[in-house]
Amino acid sequence: MNVVLPVLVGVGSAIGAVARYGVGVFIGRVNHSAFPWGTWLINVIGTALLGLFTLNLQSASPDLFLLLGTGFCGGFTTFSTLSVETVTLYRANRLLSLFYLFSSLGVGLILAWLINLWA
Amino acid sequence: MNNIMAIFIGGIIGGASRCGLGFIIPAPSGFPLDILVINLVGSLALGTLNGVAASTKMKPWLRNGIGTGMIGSFTTFSTFCVGTIRLAQVHALSALVYVAISLIAGPLLALSGERTALWVVTRKETEVGEVSA
């Protein structure tokens, strides 16, 4: 297996994770509701970015796609926090937790679909 | 250790593991089994970590490094969405199954991880208490 691949993805993911932490801390200061706006925005924006990179970079520049797409977008967005926050929110507000889960998915899928149509 | 440093190192480990597992786990007829397994294992792991952190004196940098860095980068929402659209174009039913399993099992595994961790830690504390008493 090519060693460069996991290194590119690893470094991109690490930058994505730090960016996610930064955005999360910032949104946490602004957002005073129970709704996890930080993760919601991160996941939606990261999905749109990955859609764009898939379209423009994946075949044109595979190494750059590994760094920015699989790496950065993959590390920036997160499914585990979505799962955990859905459970946490469910305890406080059941309906809002379902809205959180399904709106993340819905908006993410629509954006990925729209960008894909563009091709 | 610095939070950002821990998240960066955790991020490298999580991202590289996701990439590595992508090579190992097969994709039967184009089904993104790798991302499904990664997202579900990661949800269980993050729930467990939160359960442990809630009941022990875990250092914040360690919790951030493992949780936000490693597990956060290991799992991915963007590849999940883009992969679902790609799968839907060739096999709509598979895409529906992919989404349904991810959304139902993800939160349930996170919950069971947290519950198990809390149960194990509390039981251990009780045992220690009984021994020292």
Q: Quick: pLDDT tens for B22-75.
A: 999 999 989 999 999 999 999 999 999 999 999 999 999 999 999 999 999 999
For range A79-100, the mean pLDDT: 98
Best probe of the B interface among A54, A83, A114, A118, by most B CBs < 10 A, is: A83
pTM here is: 0.94
pLDDT exceeds 60 at position A29: yes
Q: Do B7 and A15 touch (CB under 8 A)?
A: no
Q: How many CB atoms are closer than 10 A to CB A93?
A: 13
Mean pLDDT in residue range A49-78: 96
Structure tokens at B43: 């949800």
pLDDT tens for B73-106 read 999 999 999 999 999 999 999 999 999 999 999 9
CB-closest option in A21, A43, A79 to B106:
A79
- State the complex-level ipTM: 0.95
